[in-house]
Structure 1
Amino acid sequence: MADLKDAAGGPRAVVAVGCLSERYGRDLAAELPEADAVLGFDDYPDIAERLTRIVAGERHVPHAPSDRRQLLAISPVDRSAAATSIPGHGAGDELPAGWSPPVLRRRLDGSPVAPVKLASGCDRRCTFCAIPSFRGSFISRPPADVMAEIAWLVGEGVQEVVLVSENSTSYGKDLGDIRLLETLLPAIGEGTGVRRIRVAYLQPAEVRPGLLQVIAGTEAVAPYYDLSFQHASPSVLRRMRRFGGRAEFLALIAQIRELDPLAGIRSNIIVGFPGETQEDLEELVAFLVDARLDAVGVFGYSDEDGTEAVGLADKVDEEVIRERVESITSLVEEIMAQRAEDRIGEQVTVLVEAIEQDDAGDWIAVGHAGHQGPDDGATVLALEQAGDALVGEFIAAVVVDTDGVDLIAERS
């Protein structure tokens, strides 16, 4: 990118922004001499002025990283008064209650699916995670702000929004209502015109029966549950400073499937966490076999700078971690393929994301059903010709076959 500055019409400056820039600040600037500046979150409120000066050739002094958890009050309900820059959150103290300023941004693609930030930061202290140190404590976006962005996205052609945060189940606790998500989801469906809402990252220990009922009972909300289990052995989970275990997680899954037998459930798993024994691994395997999740991401543990887990004893050998990752990955791939086969004959509603030609040159529509996250497998429909379906169209279909975790469907 820096080399392009010398090309006609190329960028006038290269500026690093985002979580990596916030976390490492001046250290990153020293490692990236090609960058004209490294901006932290506190630069965002005046970013137009910052960029103007950088383009004009002024040197920007990068920030010294600090623990952003110290910038907000310990009590969640006191956090909105803090004069702290939080990416994706508009400054609203001077605005009328319930009013949100117009969205001033441009979409960079034409996808019918778009993420929408629900909140920033996290109050949990998982020993393997560094996110709270540079994203800060949990703080929710006001409902009016979220709905205004979604309404704007709908006007830009978006059909599905994915509500994202570090912990969506905590939404509203700093606004005085821990159950605010149960109110927000139906309001989005009724008040923005969006066709499908998907909620990402639910913390199992905080999932409430009422929230499950709203997700299952609100027409616009996808039957999709993104649950961050991380493991199933109670001893490993306690070392991670997380709650629950195999029995509790299976009970939660049973509750979801009782409400919606066709729901999609995904999760992430960390293998090889310090102190993980063969017995712990067997507990995880037993859970995965019984849970029969639709999508699972498997990750091998590695030390993360600034986390408590770095100092934990009984580290698992790297070669053992690789072997365990391969073993668990093989298991979940088989389980996910079986789950896909179980859906043969099922009625699905597919959001078309692309019109393509397959290896044989035949036209196909590629998208995902309600139970599938955008990155958790696809649903493919055969077309007579390219114009038989449109990107952004919802198609009622029936599953007739599978290809690994992907579904093959026909119009119903």
Structure 2
Amino acid sequence: MSLKVALITLGCAKNTVDSEVVKGMLISGGFEWQEKTSNADVVLINTCGFIRDAKEQSIETILGVVAEKNTSQKVVVFGCLAQRYSKEIEKEIPEVDGIIGNDQLTRMPDILKSLFLQERVLEVKNSNEFVREGFINRERVEDGFYSYLKIADGCDNLCSYCVIPLVRGRYRSKMPDDVIQEAKYLVNKGVKEVILIAQDIGEYGKDIDPKYNLPRLLKDLTSIKDLDWVRLLYCYPNHLTDDLLYTIASEKKICNYLDLPLQHISDNVLKKMGRTFLREDIYGLVSKIKKILPDVALRSTFIVGFPGETSRDIEILSNGLKDLKLTWSSFFTYSREEGTPAAKMANQLPEGAKLERLSLVKEIQHGVTIEEIKKYIGKRLPVLIEEKIPNEKDWYLGRSYVQSPEIDGQIYVNIKENIQNKIGVIIPVDIIGSTNIDLIGEVTDESCQ
């Protein structure tokens, strides 16, 4: 009799991909998939261990699952929390039956079978031993017409606050043929938009063939039939080359959208973070991007409350948000992570001060986003129609190149009934208004001609 398995996924898009890989392997291996944990022989929890809030959510989820498990059930944790805190989980949560490291996912079927032959399984290696990932048939864990494609794992940037190298290892590009095969596989599953992710997609290829870089990969991806959009997330500013920008400009399938994790704008904080660019570089880069890609939508991420951050640093960040006019930004308070250089720095800020600063910069960016979104009013944008709004005649939800799924706004689209095949199709939409961070559009016979 096959084992029944349920899966809970926490954390970032890279975890989503890992969960889909695990699901694909288990289903191919004869395991029976369950949506409810109560029906499963094995409950898998894909954890996140990046910052404090994520760790707390992962721990709470583990404790909740083990509190409800029956005597015959097994609970297995994997992902970054499991990789980073395997010994602590083993000691403090003895109800967990298996702890699996980030490089052991391809062994998951055999590991789960062995669970019922021994009391406990611990399969965690040092991140320095991690090897390159290959292509594996994935099974979706989320619905939608988009899918994330992890083109590399690990990181070599060694920022002073970040634990990624500790839990994901050194930078490892996926081989080009494997990336192309995976993209084709996803398209055959009905995916319209492939979103490229890695800790830093800009360094793709450096460890396999410097001549085969991200621009070359993009050109190969855009040749795939029935792949409509390619979106780029998480490109370290230093690795955003002119070649990449002009490739985006020349290829219609590549969304005019870039995610640049800047983290701060003050030189004082950037230097302490170990970032290898400064405020002047940021201003120059954003200016160049907007010159080459005039209609680009830019997203970034910022950390506030870093050790030694002053009120002047926050003022510089605030002014930078107003000057740069990024379409979207996310903000996080600094999380003091053991094992990182920043954890040992002097002048650690109290949580109250961090939260005050967080509120300030979020409010500033919210105003900027509202104004940036209004720039699309009066334009005709290609929109991927994703779902019908319940109980609202002729109204649908969709996204254009301006919006990445899950993190940005959406477009409310009015579509007349005489237009067929709405869901999962990219159609031209006239943008007629906005509401907060969302756009409002309409489709008419004229716009579809």
User: Displacement, 1:132?
Assistant: 0.5
Q: Report the more deviating stretch, 221-230 or 248-257.
A: 248-257
SS of match in other structure, 1:228: strand
1:297 maps to 330
Aligned equivalent of 2:176, options 131, 143, 160: 143
Please tell me the residue identity of whatever aligns with 1:190: S
Change (3 A) 1:46 1:302: closer
Q: Report the more deviating stretch, 222-231 or 28-37.
A: 28-37
Please tell me the residue identity of whatever aligns with 2:432: V
User: Displacement, 1:105?
Assistant: 3.1
Please tell me the residue identity of whatever aligns with 1:393: V
Change (3 A) 1:192 1:163: farther
1:161 maps to 194
1:93 maps to none
Deviations 1:249-294 (A, max 9, x none): 1211111111121110000011111111111111111111111111
Answer yes or no: is the 8 Å Cα contact 1:37–1:59 preserved in 2. Answer: no
2:138 maps to 105
1:254 aligns with 2:287: yes
1:408 aligns with 2:446: no
- Residues 170-181 of structure 1: matches in 2 within 5 Å? 170-177=203-210, 180-181=213-214
User: Displacement, 1:389?
Assistant: 5.1
2:45 maps to none
Please tell me the residue identity of whatever aligns with 1:368: R
Answer yes or no: is the 8 Å Cα contact 1:44–1:85 preserved in 2. Answer: no
1:98 maps to none
SS of match in other structure, 1:62: strand
1:393 aligns with 2:429: no
2:61 maps to none
2:122 maps to 62
2:27 maps to none
Give the distance between the partners of 1:6 and 1:172, measured in 2 at CA: 40
User: Displacement, 1:388?
Assistant: 5.0
Aligned equivalent of 1:24, options 79, 82, 85: 85
Change (3 A) 1:292 1:8: closer
User: Displacement, 1:391?
Assistant: 2.6
1:333 aligns with 2:394: no
SS of match in other structure, 2:428: strand
Deviations 1:319-339 (A, max 9, x none): 111111001010000100010
Give the distance between the partners of 2:289 and 2:39, measured in 1 at CA: 56
2:400 maps to 369
Give the distance between the partners of 1:43 and 1:373, measured in 2 at CA: 30
Give the distance between the partners of 2:114 and 2:284, measured in 1 at CA: 56
User: Displacement, 1:218?
Assistant: 1.0
Q: Report the more deviating stretch, 211-220 or 241-250.
A: 241-250
1:245 aligns with 2:278: yes
Question: Where does the alignment leave 5 or more consecutive residues of structure 2 unmatched?
Answer: 1-5, 8-33, 43-72
Answer yes or no: is the 8 Å Cα contact 2:101–2:124 preserved in 1. Answer: no
User: Displacement, 1:57?
Assistant: 4.1
SS of match in other structure, 1:254: helix
Change (3 A) 1:267 1:356: same
- Give the superposed CA RMSD: 2.3
Answer yes or no: is the 8 Å Cα contact 2:384–2:425 preserved in 1. Answer: yes
1:128 aligns with 2:188: no
User: Displacement, 1:42?
Assistant: 4.4
2:222 maps to 189
SS of match in other structure, 2:162: coil
1:200 maps to 233
Give the distance between the partners of 1:8 and 1:265, measured in 2 at CA: 44
1:283 maps to 316
Give the distance between the partners of 1:57 and 1:164, measured in 2 at CA: 37
Change (3 A) 1:404 1:6: closer
1:311 maps to 344
Answer yes or no: is the 8 Å Cα contact 1:160–1:198 preserved in 2. Answer: yes
Please tell me the residue identity of whatever aligns with 1:58: Q
User: Displacement, 1:26?
Assistant: 2.9
User: Displacement, 1:246?
Assistant: 2.6
Change (3 A) 1:53 1:255: same
Please tell me the residue identity of whatever aligns with 1:279: R
Answer yes or no: is the 8 Å Cα contact 1:26–1:63 preserved in 2. Answer: no
Answer yes or no: is the 8 Å Cα contact 1:355–1:389 preserved in 2. Answer: no
User: Displacement, 1:357?
Assistant: 2.6
Question: Where does the alignment leave 5 or more consecutive residues of structure 1 unmatched?
Answer: 72-83, 91-100
1:215 aligns with 2:248: yes
Answer yes or no: is the 8 Å Cα contact 2:102–2:124 preserved in 1. Answer: no
Please tell me the residue identity of whatever aligns with 1:366: L
Give the distance between the partners of 1:203 and 1:388, measured in 2 at CA: 41
Change (3 A) 1:255 1:315: same
User: Displacement, 1:8?
Assistant: 5.7
SS of match in other structure, 1:190: coil
SS of match in other structure, 1:223: strand
Answer yes or no: is the 8 Å Cα contact 2:102–2:168 preserved in 1. Answer: no
TM-score normalized by the length of structure 2: 0.80
Please tell me the residue identity of whatever aligns with 2:210: D
Number of residue pairs aligned between Structure 1 and Structure 2: 381
Change (3 A) 1:386 1:124: farther
Task: Extract structure 1 runs of 4+ deviating beyond 6 A.
Answer: none
In terms of fraction of residues, the more strand-rich structure is 2
Change (3 A) 1:369 1:64: closer
User: Displacement, 1:30?
Assistant: 3.1
Give the distance between the partners of 2:37 and 2:412, measured in 1 at CA: 44
1:34 aligns with 2:95: yes
